[in-house]
C-alpha cells in the first residue's frame, strides 16, 4: 500500500496542499482494494460483514 501511495505521489508535481488532497483519496482507494483482495485470498468474510452493516444502517 505504501508503494502505491509513493508512486502516485511521484507522478504529480504540485503544491503540498493539492498533493494532500490527491493522496488521501488515493490512499483510501488503494486500502479498500488491498483489503478486498486479501479477503478474496484468505476468506476473511469482510464482504459479508459489510453487507450486514449496510443492511443494519438501512433498516
> What is the domain partition of the chain in residue ranges?
2-58
Q: Which three cell numbers stand for residue 38?
A: 486479501
pTM of the model: 0.64
- Contact criterion met (CB below 8 Å) for 4 and 30: yes
Per-residue pLDDT tens listing for the chain (59 residues):
788 878 877 888 888 898 888 889 988 999 989 988 998 899 888 888 989 999 999 98
| Contacting residues for 44 by C-beta, under 8 A, at least 6 apart | 38
Amino acid at each position: 500500500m505504501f508503494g502505491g501511495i509513493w508512486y502516485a505521489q511521484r507522478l504529480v508535481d504540485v503544491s503540498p496542499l493539492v498533493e494532500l488532497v490527491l493522496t488521501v483519496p488515493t490512499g483510501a482507494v488503494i486500502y479498500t482494494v488491498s483489503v478486498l483482495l486479501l479477503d478474496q485470498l484468505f476468506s476473511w468474510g469482510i464482504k459479508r460483514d459489510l453487507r450486514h452493516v449496510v443492511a443494519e444502517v438501512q433498516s
